[in-house]
Amino acid sequence: PQVNVFQVLTKIKEAKKTRSTLPVDLPDVLRKECALDLAEPMVDIINSCLLHGAFPEFWRREWVTPVPKIADPIKMTDLRKIASTSDYSKIFEKFIMEWVIMDMGEKLGLQQFAGNKGTGTEHMIVALIDRVKYLLDRNEGAAVIATGIDWKSAFDRVDPTRATLNLIKLGIRSSLIPILIEFITNRKMSVKFNQAESRLYTLIGGGPQGSQIGQNQYLAASFDNASSVYEDDQFKYCDDLEILDLVLLGNILIEYDFNQHVASDIGI
Protein backbone atom coordinates (compact mmCIF):
# COMPACT_ATOMS: atom_id res chain seq x y z
CA PRO A 1 0.00 0.00 0.00
CA GLN A 2 0.97 3.65 -0.50
CA VAL A 3 -0.33 6.93 0.95
CA ASN A 4 -0.87 10.38 -0.55
CA VAL A 5 -0.44 13.95 0.68
CA PHE A 6 -4.14 14.43 1.46
CA GLN A 7 -4.26 11.29 3.65
CA VAL A 8 -1.14 12.29 5.61
CA LEU A 9 -2.33 15.89 5.96
CA THR A 10 -5.62 14.66 7.42
CA LYS A 11 -3.79 12.43 9.93
CA ILE A 12 -1.52 15.33 11.02
CA LYS A 13 -4.52 17.60 11.61
CA GLU A 14 -6.37 14.85 13.51
CA ALA A 15 -3.38 14.17 15.80
CA LYS A 16 -4.22 14.69 19.46
CA LYS A 17 -2.59 17.53 21.35
CA THR A 18 0.28 16.27 23.49
CA ARG A 19 1.11 17.63 26.96
CA SER A 20 4.85 17.75 26.32
CA THR A 21 6.95 17.92 23.18
CA LEU A 22 9.49 15.14 22.64
CA PRO A 23 12.97 16.06 21.32
CA VAL A 24 12.14 14.52 17.91
CA ASP A 25 8.80 16.36 17.52
CA LEU A 26 7.53 19.86 16.84
CA PRO A 27 5.29 21.66 19.35
CA ASP A 28 1.59 20.98 18.73
CA VAL A 29 0.79 24.54 17.59
CA LEU A 30 3.67 24.60 15.10
CA ARG A 31 2.83 21.12 13.81
CA LYS A 32 -0.76 22.14 13.04
CA GLU A 33 0.38 25.46 11.48
CA CYS A 34 2.92 23.72 9.20
CA ALA A 35 0.80 20.61 8.52
CA LEU A 36 0.92 20.99 4.73
CA ASP A 37 4.70 21.56 4.73
CA LEU A 38 5.19 18.47 6.88
CA ALA A 39 2.81 16.28 4.85
CA GLU A 40 4.91 16.14 1.68
CA PRO A 41 8.18 14.87 3.21
CA MET A 42 6.20 12.52 5.47
CA VAL A 43 4.56 10.96 2.41
CA ASP A 44 8.03 10.22 1.03
CA ILE A 45 9.20 8.71 4.34
CA ILE A 46 6.08 6.57 4.85
CA ASN A 47 5.93 5.32 1.28
CA SER A 48 9.63 4.48 1.35
CA CYS A 49 9.10 2.52 4.59
CA LEU A 50 6.15 0.67 3.07
CA LEU A 51 8.17 -0.15 -0.03
CA HIS A 52 11.21 -1.47 1.86
CA GLY A 53 9.42 -3.01 4.87
CA ALA A 54 11.05 -0.67 7.38
CA PHE A 55 10.11 1.27 10.51
CA PRO A 56 12.41 4.30 11.16
CA GLU A 57 14.84 3.77 14.03
CA PHE A 58 14.23 7.19 15.60
CA TRP A 59 10.50 6.40 15.73
CA ARG A 60 11.29 3.28 17.79
CA ARG A 61 12.61 5.36 20.68
CA GLU A 62 10.56 5.55 23.90
CA TRP A 63 10.63 8.23 26.60
CA VAL A 64 9.35 6.49 29.71
CA THR A 65 7.76 8.10 32.77
CA PRO A 66 7.34 5.87 35.86
CA VAL A 67 3.88 6.31 37.37
CA PRO A 68 3.17 4.90 40.87
CA LYS A 69 0.50 2.20 41.15
CA ILE A 70 0.27 2.77 44.90
CA ALA A 71 0.69 5.81 47.17
CA ASP A 72 4.22 5.04 48.39
CA PRO A 73 6.03 2.81 45.88
CA ILE A 74 8.92 0.74 47.26
CA LYS A 75 9.64 -1.87 44.58
CA MET A 76 9.96 -1.56 40.80
CA THR A 77 6.76 -3.56 40.48
CA ASP A 78 4.94 -0.71 42.27
CA LEU A 79 5.51 1.47 39.20
CA ARG A 80 3.78 1.49 35.83
CA LYS A 81 5.82 2.27 32.71
CA ILE A 82 4.15 4.94 30.56
CA ALA A 83 5.94 5.21 27.23
CA SER A 84 5.74 8.28 24.98
CA THR A 85 6.63 7.93 21.30
CA SER A 86 6.99 10.39 18.44
CA ASP A 87 3.87 12.03 17.00
CA TYR A 88 5.08 11.01 13.54
CA SER A 89 5.43 7.39 14.63
CA LYS A 90 1.78 7.54 15.74
CA ILE A 91 0.73 8.88 12.32
CA PHE A 92 2.52 6.02 10.54
CA GLU A 93 0.99 3.56 13.02
CA LYS A 94 -2.52 4.81 12.22
CA PHE A 95 -2.10 3.86 8.55
CA ILE A 96 -0.62 0.46 9.42
CA MET A 97 -3.40 -0.30 11.90
CA GLU A 98 -6.13 0.56 9.38
CA TRP A 99 -4.73 -2.14 7.08
CA VAL A 100 -4.10 -4.61 9.93
CA ILE A 101 -7.68 -4.27 11.22
CA MET A 102 -8.98 -4.59 7.66
CA ASP A 103 -7.01 -7.84 7.18
CA MET A 104 -7.84 -9.36 10.57
CA GLY A 105 -11.56 -8.55 10.42
CA GLU A 106 -13.22 -10.52 13.22
CA LYS A 107 -10.56 -13.26 13.35
CA LEU A 108 -9.47 -12.16 16.83
CA GLY A 109 -12.89 -13.32 18.01
CA LEU A 110 -15.85 -11.56 19.58
CA GLN A 111 -14.50 -12.54 23.02
CA GLN A 112 -11.77 -9.84 22.85
CA PHE A 113 -13.38 -6.53 23.80
CA ALA A 114 -10.18 -4.46 23.65
CA GLY A 115 -9.09 -2.77 20.45
CA ASN A 116 -12.64 -2.53 19.08
CA LYS A 117 -13.96 0.98 18.54
CA GLY A 118 -17.04 1.68 20.66
CA THR A 119 -16.50 -1.16 23.16
CA GLY A 120 -15.15 -1.02 26.70
CA THR A 121 -14.86 -2.99 29.90
CA GLU A 122 -18.53 -2.36 30.69
CA HIS A 123 -19.54 -4.26 27.53
CA MET A 124 -17.40 -7.23 28.61
CA ILE A 125 -19.00 -7.23 32.09
CA VAL A 126 -22.53 -7.11 30.64
CA ALA A 127 -21.73 -9.97 28.22
CA LEU A 128 -20.19 -12.05 31.02
CA ILE A 129 -23.16 -11.58 33.38
CA ASP A 130 -25.56 -12.35 30.52
CA ARG A 131 -23.71 -15.62 29.84
CA VAL A 132 -23.78 -16.60 33.55
CA LYS A 133 -27.54 -15.97 33.76
CA TYR A 134 -28.09 -17.88 30.49
CA LEU A 135 -26.22 -20.94 31.83
CA LEU A 136 -28.08 -20.87 35.15
CA ASP A 137 -31.49 -20.43 33.49
CA ARG A 138 -30.88 -23.41 31.18
CA ASN A 139 -29.46 -25.76 33.85
CA GLU A 140 -31.46 -26.30 37.02
CA GLY A 141 -29.40 -27.10 40.11
CA ALA A 142 -26.18 -25.78 38.62
CA ALA A 143 -23.46 -23.27 39.47
CA VAL A 144 -21.05 -21.26 37.36
CA ILE A 145 -17.41 -20.96 38.40
CA ALA A 146 -15.62 -17.83 37.14
CA THR A 147 -11.83 -17.67 37.06
CA GLY A 148 -10.04 -14.36 36.54
CA ILE A 149 -6.53 -14.18 35.07
CA ASP A 150 -4.38 -11.06 34.80
CA TRP A 151 -1.14 -11.52 32.84
CA LYS A 152 1.74 -9.95 34.78
CA SER A 153 3.73 -7.28 32.85
CA ALA A 154 1.96 -8.52 29.73
CA PHE A 155 3.23 -5.95 27.21
CA ASP A 156 6.84 -6.18 28.41
CA ARG A 157 6.78 -9.97 28.03
CA VAL A 158 5.30 -10.32 24.55
CA ASP A 159 7.25 -12.94 22.61
CA PRO A 160 7.98 -11.21 19.26
CA THR A 161 8.23 -14.53 17.41
CA ARG A 162 4.84 -15.73 18.67
CA ALA A 163 3.27 -12.33 17.93
CA THR A 164 4.59 -12.38 14.35
CA LEU A 165 3.52 -15.98 13.66
CA ASN A 166 0.02 -15.24 14.97
CA LEU A 167 -0.23 -12.09 12.81
CA ILE A 168 0.55 -14.27 9.80
CA LYS A 169 -2.08 -16.81 10.92
CA LEU A 170 -4.61 -13.99 11.26
CA GLY A 171 -4.10 -13.11 7.58
CA ILE A 172 -2.10 -9.87 7.75
CA ARG A 173 -0.86 -9.00 4.26
CA SER A 174 2.73 -10.13 3.73
CA SER A 175 4.00 -6.62 2.84
CA LEU A 176 3.24 -5.39 6.38
CA ILE A 177 4.90 -8.26 8.28
CA PRO A 178 8.51 -6.94 7.90
CA ILE A 179 7.36 -3.50 9.16
CA LEU A 180 5.61 -5.04 12.18
CA ILE A 181 8.74 -7.09 12.93
CA GLU A 182 11.00 -4.04 12.72
CA PHE A 183 8.61 -2.07 14.97
CA ILE A 184 9.59 -4.32 17.91
CA THR A 185 13.21 -4.84 16.85
CA ASN A 186 16.01 -2.89 18.53
CA ARG A 187 13.66 -0.57 20.42
CA LYS A 188 15.34 1.84 22.83
CA MET A 189 14.09 3.66 25.91
CA SER A 190 15.23 6.22 28.44
CA VAL A 191 13.53 7.04 31.75
CA LYS A 192 12.63 10.59 32.75
CA PHE A 193 12.11 11.37 36.44
CA ASN A 194 12.27 14.70 38.31
CA GLN A 195 13.90 16.54 35.39
CA ALA A 196 16.62 13.86 35.12
CA GLU A 197 16.94 11.40 32.25
CA SER A 198 18.66 8.03 32.19
CA ARG A 199 20.95 6.69 29.52
CA LEU A 200 19.47 4.78 26.58
CA TYR A 201 18.55 1.14 27.14
CA THR A 202 17.92 -1.42 24.39
CA LEU A 203 14.72 -3.38 24.99
CA ILE A 204 15.04 -7.14 24.61
CA GLY A 205 11.41 -7.75 23.64
CA GLY A 206 7.83 -6.78 24.29
CA GLY A 207 6.06 -3.74 22.90
CA PRO A 208 5.17 -0.22 24.05
CA GLN A 209 1.98 -0.08 26.12
CA GLY A 210 -0.36 2.55 24.73
CA SER A 211 0.81 2.43 21.12
CA GLN A 212 -1.66 1.16 18.52
CA ILE A 213 0.69 -1.40 16.99
CA GLY A 214 1.90 -2.50 20.45
CA GLN A 215 -1.65 -3.24 21.58
CA ASN A 216 -2.61 -5.15 18.44
CA GLN A 217 0.61 -7.18 18.49
CA TYR A 218 -0.24 -8.20 22.04
CA LEU A 219 -3.81 -9.09 21.03
CA ALA A 220 -2.42 -11.20 18.18
CA ALA A 221 0.13 -12.92 20.42
CA SER A 222 -2.56 -13.82 22.98
CA PHE A 223 -5.62 -14.40 20.80
CA ASP A 224 -5.52 -18.19 21.34
CA ASN A 225 -4.50 -18.13 25.03
CA ALA A 226 -7.81 -19.72 26.06
CA SER A 227 -8.23 -22.05 23.09
CA SER A 228 -9.08 -24.99 25.37
CA VAL A 229 -12.16 -23.13 26.67
CA TYR A 230 -15.44 -22.97 24.75
CA GLU A 231 -15.53 -19.57 22.99
CA ASP A 232 -18.81 -18.46 24.58
CA ASP A 233 -17.29 -19.01 28.04
CA GLN A 234 -14.21 -16.78 27.66
CA PHE A 235 -14.15 -12.99 27.97
CA LYS A 236 -11.05 -10.87 27.33
CA TYR A 237 -10.05 -7.28 27.73
CA CYS A 238 -6.46 -6.91 26.57
CA ASP A 239 -4.38 -8.75 29.22
CA ASP A 240 -7.35 -9.64 31.46
CA LEU A 241 -9.13 -12.95 30.92
CA GLU A 242 -12.27 -14.37 32.52
CA ILE A 243 -13.29 -17.97 31.90
CA LEU A 244 -16.53 -19.65 33.00
CA ASP A 245 -17.30 -23.27 33.79
CA LEU A 246 -20.73 -24.78 34.38
CA VAL A 247 -20.95 -27.24 37.28
CA LEU A 248 -24.00 -29.47 37.71
CA LEU A 249 -24.25 -29.58 41.50
CA GLY A 250 -26.22 -32.60 42.61
CA ASN A 251 -24.43 -33.64 45.80
CA ILE A 252 -20.90 -32.95 44.61
CA LEU A 253 -20.54 -29.43 46.02
CA ILE A 254 -20.41 -30.79 49.58
CA GLU A 255 -16.94 -32.23 48.96
CA TYR A 256 -15.96 -30.00 46.04
CA ASP A 257 -12.20 -29.36 45.84
CA PHE A 258 -11.47 -26.33 43.67
CA ASN A 259 -7.76 -27.22 43.31
CA GLN A 260 -8.65 -30.54 41.70
CA HIS A 261 -10.95 -28.79 39.23
CA VAL A 262 -8.40 -26.30 37.87
CA ALA A 263 -6.26 -27.71 35.04
CA SER A 264 -2.71 -28.50 36.15
CA ASP A 265 -1.16 -26.70 33.16
CA ILE A 266 -2.49 -23.24 34.20
CA GLY A 267 0.42 -21.17 35.52
CA ILE A 268 0.28 -19.90 39.10
pLDDT confidence of residue 176: 94
Distance CA 181, CA 162 (A): 11
Q: Which residues of the chain have pLDDT under 50?
A: none
* Reduced 3-state DSSP string for 101-163: HHHHCCCCCCCECCCCCCCCHHHHHHHHHHHHHHHHHHCCCEEEEEEEEECCCCHHHCCHHHH
pLDDT confidence of residue 49: 95
Distance CA 92, CA 85 (A): 12
- The model carries a pTM of 0.78
pLDDT confidence of residue 266: 62
Distance CA 136, CA 143 (A): 7
pLDDT confidence of residue 140: 79
pLDDT confidence of residue 77: 82
